[in-house]
Amino acid sequence: MKKIKTFIQKLKNIFHLTNAFLANVFYGFSSKKITVIGVTGTDGKTTTTHLIAHILKSCGKKVSYISTIFAKIGEKEYDTGFHVTTPNPWLIQKLIKEAVNNKDEYFILETTSHALDQNRVWGINYKIGVLTNVSHEHLDYHLSYEDYLKTKVKLLKKADVAFFNKDDRSYLYVKKMLKGRKKIIEYQKLPIIKKNFPNLEKFNQENFSAAYLVALSLGLKSEEVLKAIKTFKLPKGRFDLVYDKDFKVIIDFAHTPNAFLKLLPEIRKKYLKNKGRLIHVFGSAGLRDNTKRPLMGEISSRFADFIILTEEDYRTEDPNKICQEIASGIKNKNYQVIIDRKKAIEKALKMAKKGDLVVFTGKAHEKSLCRGKTEYPWDEYQAVEIGLKKIKK
């Protein structure tokens, strides 16, 4: 079965490689005419991508980018599709070509391991590659952490200059894989970032440090970079405090064990200080890495006082089964399963008392919920807004 799966994947990779080659030819290998910065990692890609773009733009540079949330070429935004971070080769090359035509100096491309493995980014002339971190995720596709890590490192090997996180568990592996390369910048949480942004979460200290160093490597001065960072707003669905009255509500895209491990203790430390309850609502995507589910349950139960397990793009899997797999890792019995995400949101908001905090993770900016083989319209922010209105009546 494993051999068949590998063979099918190789055929798909050949298909993507062919399309990437044709797209590059059709659009004239446009990435050679612009400075391309690639950002990869299990978590933190989107924040780092948006921050680099914000710094460059604030410092008077012309920049375009593609991220999980959208693509932005000049001042025009493009939707890249449902559940997509790095689009297909034709759209990537089309957008790079538009950026070149727009006389942009820089193009930032949030780059996934799938895109790297499937050759969707073949032919892209990366000047800079950034690896934020590598933790447990996509092991249904990559089959092992080592394989996943090697795939991520492909971006750094493609790039002229490689940035990778010294604070991450992958550091020693990455360093070994890049042995012999000259242009390597190892980064960690920088004192200058901590000093200038003392209230910044630990995980964002890493993301901000990476963006800061990338900007310096491009010739910008420290003072102008720090000034730009001060006006930066986190992308939609990243540590997003959407309600702050009698209790608080946060929406975040966290959907991996590592993201939970970084997000949840920061929430407790920053907003609760042992005075209120943390209510966590989440699920796990169907037909994706199922080995992470118990880990997500265990980590959530370490920091949350009550958990509501719900749907999150269950596709053709049984959502009840997914929730039970998550629940197998929960260390206490303070949880409930409500498959309908709208009802789960309403229940959590109804439960919240003065001083509590409710956090909804996994969907954030996404515009659809996949049930079966159908994508249904979904807006997490709207669902929360409706839920809040109901409890106020």
Domain boundaries defined on the chain: 2-229, 240-392
Mean pLDDT of 284-303: 96
CB 190 within 8 A of CB 209: yes
pLDDT for 13 beyond 90: no
> Is the confidence at residue 24, as pLDDT, over 70?
yes
* Average pLDDT of span 218-230: 98
Class assignment of domain 240-392?
A: alpha beta
- Is residue 84 exposed (0-12), middle (13-18) or buried (19+ Cβ within 10 Å)? middle
The whole-number pLDDT of residue 1 equals 61
Residue-wise over 262-292: b if at least 16 C-beta within 10 A, else e? bbbbbbbeebbeeebbbbbbbbbbbebbbeb
CA separation for the pair 120, 98 (Å, rounded): 18
- H or E segment to which residue 251 belongs: strand 248-252
Average pLDDT over residues 173-190: 92
Q: Is the model's pLDDT at 140 over the cut of 80?
A: no
Element (H, E) at 244: strand 240-244
- Predicted confidence at residue 237, as pLDDT, reads 96
Provide the pLDDT confidence category of residue 58 given band limits of 50, 70 and 90. very high
Q: What is the pTM of this model?
A: 0.94
How would residue 306 be classed by pLDDT, with cut points 50, 70 and 90? very high
Residue 16 in tokens: 């993507």
Check residue 6 and give its pLDDT.
Answer: 73
Strand order in the sheet with 357-361: 240-244, 248-252, 357-361, 278-282, 306-309, 335-337
Residue 56 token pair: 């460059």
How confident is residue 118, by pLDDT bands cut at 50, 70 and 90?
Answer: very high
Average pLDDT estimate for 252-280: 94
User: Given a cut of 80, is residue 141 above it in pLDDT?
Assistant: no
Whole-number pLDDT of residue 81: 84
Summary mean pLDDT of the chain: 94
Whether the CB-CB separation of 271 and 248 falls below 8 Å is answered with yes
- Interacting residues of 41 by C-beta distance below 8 A, sequence separation 6+: 48, 130, 131, 132, 133, 134, 152, 165
Q: Which of 128, 131, 261, 132 is nearest to 206 (CA)?
A: 132
Question: Does the 2-229 domain belong in CATH 3.40.1190.10?
Answer: yes
How distant is the alpha carbon of residue 289 from its chain centre?
Answer: 16
Mean local confidence (pLDDT), 86-98? 96
Contact present, 213 and 191 (Cβ < 8 Å) = no
pLDDT tens sequence across 358-381: 999 999 999 999 999 999 999 999
| Spatial contact of 152 and 116, defined as CB atoms under 8 Å apart | yes
d(CA 69, CA 81): 9
pLDDT at 138 over 80: no
